[in-house]
Amino acid sequence: MSEKDLRALFLDTLKDIYYAEKHIYKSLPKMADAAGSDDLREAFEHHHDETERHIERLEQIFELLGKPARVKKCDAIEGILEEGKEVMQEYKDAPALDAGLLAAAQAVEHYEISRYGTLKTWATKLGMDEAAQLLDETLAEEKKTDEILSKIATKTVNAEAA
């Protein structure tokens, strides 16, 4: 039987979300530049600052594990961010640009909510209470961001329909 236990899976998944966060951090300024409304641009800028803290928290967890902070290519976030890029190209100057950007950003948030929820469950089970606490803080911020984006999305489609 393989030695790949929950601890190994936790470390692999930590590397996956570390890669994802770094790529999200690079994408957010482009999404902010593309945004049509001030609300949406500010939401992306604010989340860019938050993402920097999320990366730092992941680095703290690598330290708690006594492991170097390394990335593992995350195909999921590559695909999700690729869809965001397509929206920026295909809907450039179009009335539905912001609605499309919001949908892309919410897909990113949901990926992160799923990953941080899973990692938190595993950290708790592995008795890594400090890591679980750090993961929970980020999870709460990702959920908050998703709620803010939902509110802007409703406002955006209302404005377009008006």
Residues at the interface with a second copy (CB under 8 A): 1-6, 8-9, 12-13, 16, 74-80, 82-83, 86, 90-97, 99-100, 102-103, 106-107, 109-111, 113-115, 117-118, 121-122, 125, 150, 153-154, 157-158, 160-161
* Shortest separation between residue 47's beta carbon and a second copy, angstroms: 15
Give the whole-angstrom CA distance, residue 129 versus residue 136. 10
* Shortest separation between residue 161's beta carbon and a second copy, angstroms: 6
* Shortest separation between residue 30's beta carbon and a second copy, angstroms: 17
Q: Residue 16 or 21: which CB sits closer to a second copy? A: 16
Q: Residue 32 or 81: which CB sits closer to a second copy? A: 81
Task: Give which of 78, 72, 87 is closest to 108, Cα–Cα.
Answer: 78
Please provide the DSSP assignment of 134-158 as one string: HHHHHHHHHHHHHHHHHHHHHHHHH
- Residues 6+ positions from 67 with CB-CB distance below 8 Å: 11
Q: Residue 69 or 157: which CB sits closer to a second copy? A: 157
Q: Report residue 106 CA to chain centroid gap.
A: 9
Give the whole-angstrom CA distance, residue 19 versus residue 75. 10
Q: Residue 55 or 113: which CB sits closer to a second copy? A: 113
- How much of the chain is helix, strand and coil, in % rounded to 5? 85, 0, 15
- Residues 6+ positions from 63 with CB-CB distance below 8 Å: 69
Q: Residue 64 or 94: which CB sits closer to a second copy? A: 94
* Shortest separation between residue 111's beta carbon and a second copy, angstroms: 6
* Shortest separation between residue 123's beta carbon and a second copy, angstroms: 10
